[in-house]
């Protein structure tokens, strides 16, 4: 019988509920239990694929092509399992299904209501994850904050789950905030009490309360929360802001969270083995002798969540190579017409991440040109690869016209163009080339050297591609098509010869990087950036020819 752990949030959003849920998954998995996670998002979009990163942060893509909430990225990184489409359920999906069934006549003339029709649909989707995954434990996190109108059907469904699955098979965790008042230098429990009262009003009595706080939480506060919120003292778990999110599983383990949960759910399991995880965290926290500065040139850099997997992948690579990484967030628009170009002078490597739409494109092209001509390591992710191709083509054709037809539909040099199977697609949701596809690597290339295998599978999210009629001319200019689809028709990786590292992938390697297994392309890029940073006389400040001589 599958056991369920339900995670709700209170007081404020952005509490790190996703990290808490993922960390619980990690400590349970370390006991030999199989774990999977599901996120319930109360918004009405079918998936976040159509949302602006400003609304929602990064869209995380799964192997099966599902466009999901960024918390799924945290789950995959912490639990080290590939999740599936069923792991992210939105109100949009629930209502769409209920309305489709109503139109088909499935409800036999009944009035369709939130309870039971919507809640039944939610429960069906939760139990489907359990059935499909056959996991010992399904952790279900509800997005948003208790008290939101939108999340009520989800919470009602979770309440009913205790009756359906049984008391011994359900465990409710409420994650709240203890705000710090500077004037009196104390943490306050009242918002937590109110939030738990709200949750109880919905019929859910939490079994555990996790309290996010910026200061250590004393015994008296824990007693007080236990008393007022009716949970056991050992089930009041402080989540003090950690140096690194990867430390959270270790903190939870020390607090006895998994033991408590296993006791309550009657789970017999072995002692935890977190040794590899602990080594990784120690490695992250160890002071590093060397710092490498990476510039991320993007359109949404004010909101770091928009590039969270890129940020994490860079940190995974840095930790493995015993370095600190200092990330410079560079808004691509600021580079247009060479404004703020000096910001690129200060970095050891440039990442141009994925993106859509014209804004900031010319600035990204400036970044690619800087990387190419100044021999600065460059990693292009999806759009970043397309930008790298456009920039090289502009140099080859000695013209500003080469472009992607996404940004200039009438360019005479459409080096990046809409994929043939995208031409007749009118609706935006879920219609890109999505998910995992194989890519064959070319022997002897930088890509093949990085991966050390011949075939890789990587995750995609794009509509445009390299236009093959330009292969010959760009190949003559030094571009190597080092990764191709099995039929060789689609360019998956392009890299520049005679450059320390200038490589772009049509896929998104960042989605597959894990803290204990940095992604090979990120590792290779970071190594090149590190080597550049370690060359004593700062090549970036030198003229191009000399730079070439000193480059690795
Ligand atoms: N906008 C580009 C495309 O659709 C790149 C997409 C991306 O970077 N994810 O092909």
Compute the distance from residue 269 Cα to the ligand 1 centre, in Å: 45
Residues 247 and 333 in one domain: no
Side-chain half-sphere exposure of 503, counting CA atoms within 13 A: 26
Residues 276 and 346 in one domain: no
Task: Give how many domains the chain has, as a whole number.
Answer: 2
Residues 242 and 371 in one domain: no
Q: With a 6 A CB cut-off, is 462 part of the ligand 1 pocket?
A: yes
Where does residue 201 rank: exposed (0-12), middle (13-18), buried (19+ CB within 10 A)?
exposed
Residues 328 and 468 in one domain: yes
- Alpha-carbon distance of 312 to 503, in angstroms, equals 19
Q: Classify residue 552: in a domain, yes or no.
A: no
Would you state the structure tokens that stand for residue 54, as one six-digit string?
Answer: 């400003």
Residues 106 and 231 in one domain: yes
Residue 510 designated active-site: yes
Q: For position 538, what pLDDT does the model report?
A: 53
Site to probe by mutation for ligand 1, drawn from 380, 382, 507, 509 as the one with most ligand atoms within 8 Å of Cβ, is 382
In terms of C-beta distances under 8 Å and separation of at least 24 residues, what long-range contacts does 453-458 make, across chains too?
A: 456/483, 457/63, 458/492, 458/505, 458/507, 458/508, 458/509, 458/512
Residue 253 designated active-site: no
Active-site position among 7, 211, 229, 382 = 382
Residues 163 and 210 in one domain: yes
Final residue in a domain of this structure, among 246, 261, 280? 280
> What ligand 1 atom has the least distance to the C-alpha of 461?
9
Final residue in a domain of this structure, among 213, 246, 280? 280
Ranges of the chain with pLDDT below 50? 537, 539-552
Residue 117 designated active-site: no
Q: For position 44, what pLDDT does the model report?
A: 94
Q: With a 6 A CB cut-off, is 310 part of the ligand 1 pocket?
A: no
Q: Classify residue 49: in a domain, yes or no.
A: yes
Q: Classify residue 30: in a domain, yes or no.
A: yes
Residues 401 and 427 in one domain: yes
Final residue in a domain of this structure, among 236, 264, 280? 280
Q: With a 6 A CB cut-off, is 59 part of the ligand 1 pocket?
A: no
Report the CATH number at residue 359.
3.40.50.880
Alpha carbon distances (Å) from 420 to 369, 464, 467, 468, 510: 29, 9, 10, 12, 26
Residues 266 and 349 in one domain: no
Residues 127 and 261 in one domain: yes
Residues 403 and 537 in one domain: yes
Q: For position 485, what pLDDT does the model report?
A: 95
Residues 205 and 333 in one domain: no
Nearest alpha carbon to residue 217 among 194, 199, 241: 241
Q: With a 6 A CB cut-off, is 459 part of the ligand 1 pocket?
A: no
Q: Whose CA is nearest to atom 5 of ligand 1?
A: 383
Compute the distance from residue 389 Cα to the ligand 1 centre, in Å: 13
Compute the distance from residue 429 Cα to the ligand 1 centre, in Å: 14
Give the β-pairing of 414-418 and 403-404.
parallel
Compute the distance from residue 109 Cα to the ligand 1 centre, in Å: 45
Report the CATH number at residue 105.
3.40.50.300
Q: Classify residue 499: in a domain, yes or no.
A: yes
Q: Classify residue 322: in a domain, yes or no.
A: yes
Q: With a 6 A CB cut-off, is 354 part of the ligand 1 pocket?
A: yes
Q: With a 6 A CB cut-off, is 356 part of the ligand 1 pocket?
A: yes
Reduced DSSP (H G I as helix, E B as strand, rest coil) percent helix, strand, coil of the chain, to 5: 45, 20, 35
Domain range spanning residue 18? Answer: 3-280
Model pTM?
0.92
Q: Classify residue 551: in a domain, yes or no.
A: no
Nearest alpha carbon to residue 15 among 277, 162, 231, 195: 195
Would you state the structure tokens that stand for residue 200, as one six-digit string?
Answer: 């109880």
Compute the distance from residue 411 Cα to the ligand 1 centre, in Å: 18
Residues 303 and 274 in one domain: no
Residue pair 451/520 in contact (Cβ under 8 Å)? The answer is: yes
Q: Whose CA is nearest to atom 3 of ligand 1?
A: 462
Q: Classify residue 452: in a domain, yes or no.
A: yes
């Amino acid at each position: 019988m599958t056991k369920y752990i339900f995670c709700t949030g209170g007081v404020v959003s952005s509490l790190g509920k996703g990290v808490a849920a993922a960390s619980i998954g990690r400590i349970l998995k370390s006991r030999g239990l199989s774990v999977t996670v599901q996120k319930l998002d109360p918004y009405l979009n079918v998936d976040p694929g159509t949302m602006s990163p400003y609304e929602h942060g990064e869209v995380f893509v799964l192997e099966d092509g599902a466009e999901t909430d960024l918390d799924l990225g945290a789950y995959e990184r912490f639990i080290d399992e590939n999740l599936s489409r069923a792991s992210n359920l939105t109100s949009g999906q629930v209502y769409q299904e209920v309305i489709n069934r109503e139109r088909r006549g499935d409800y036999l003339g009944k009035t369709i209501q939130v309870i039971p029709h919507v809640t039944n649909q939610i429960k069906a989707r939760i139990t489907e994850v359990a059935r499909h995954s056959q996991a010992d434990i399904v952790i279900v996190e509800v997005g948003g904050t208790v008290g939101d109108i939108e999340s009520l059907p989800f919470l009602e469904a979770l309440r009913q789950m205790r009756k359906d699955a049984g008391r011994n098979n359900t465990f409710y965790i409420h994650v709240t905030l203890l705000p710090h008042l500077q004037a009196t230098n104390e943490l306050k429990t009242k918002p937590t009490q109110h939030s738990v009262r709200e949750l109880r009003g919905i019929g859910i009595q939490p079994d555990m309360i996790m309290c996010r706080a910026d200061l250590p939480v004393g015994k008296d506060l824990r007693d007080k929360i236990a008393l007022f919120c009716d949970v056991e003292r050992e089930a009041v778990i402080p989540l003090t802001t950690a140096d690194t999110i990867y430390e959270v599983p270790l903190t939870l383990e020390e607090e006895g969270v998994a033991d408590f949960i296993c006791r309550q759910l009657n789970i017999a399991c072995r002692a935890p083995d977190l040794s590899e995880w602990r080594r990784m965290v120690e490695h992250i926290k160890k002071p590093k002798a060397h710092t490498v500065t990476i510039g991320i040139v993007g359109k949404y850099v004010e909101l770091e969540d928009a590039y969270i997997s890129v940020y994490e992948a860079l940190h995974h690579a840095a930790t493995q190579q015993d370095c600190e990484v200092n990330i410079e967030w560079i808004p691509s628009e600021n580079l247009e017409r060479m404004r703020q170009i000096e910001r690129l002078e200060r970095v050891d490597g440039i990442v141009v991440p994925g993106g859509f739409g014209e804004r900031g494109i010319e600035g990204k092209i400036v970044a690619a040109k800087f990387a190419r001509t100044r021999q600065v390591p460059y990693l292009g992710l999806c759009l970043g690869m397309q930008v790298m191709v456009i920039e090289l083509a502009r140099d080859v054709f000695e013209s500003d016209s080469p472009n992607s037809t996404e940004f200039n539909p009438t360019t005479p040099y459409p080096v990046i163009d809409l994929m043939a199977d995208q031409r007749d697609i009118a609706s935006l949701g879920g219609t890109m080339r999505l998910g995992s596809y194989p890519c064959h690597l070319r022997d002897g290339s930088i890509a093949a050297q990085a991966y050390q295998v011949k075939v890789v599978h990587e995750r995609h999210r794009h509509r445009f591609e390299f236009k093959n009629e330009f292969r010959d001319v760009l190949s003559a200019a030094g571009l190597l098509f080092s990764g191709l689809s099995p039929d060789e028709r689609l360019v998956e990786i392009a890299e520049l010869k005679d450059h320390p590292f200038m490589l772009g992938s049509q896929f998104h390697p960042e989605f597959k990087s894990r803290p204990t297994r940095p992604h090979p392309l990120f590792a290779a890029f970071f190594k090149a950036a590190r080597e550049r940073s370690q060359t004593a006389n700062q090549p970036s400040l030198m003229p191009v020819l000399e730079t070439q001589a000193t480059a690795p």
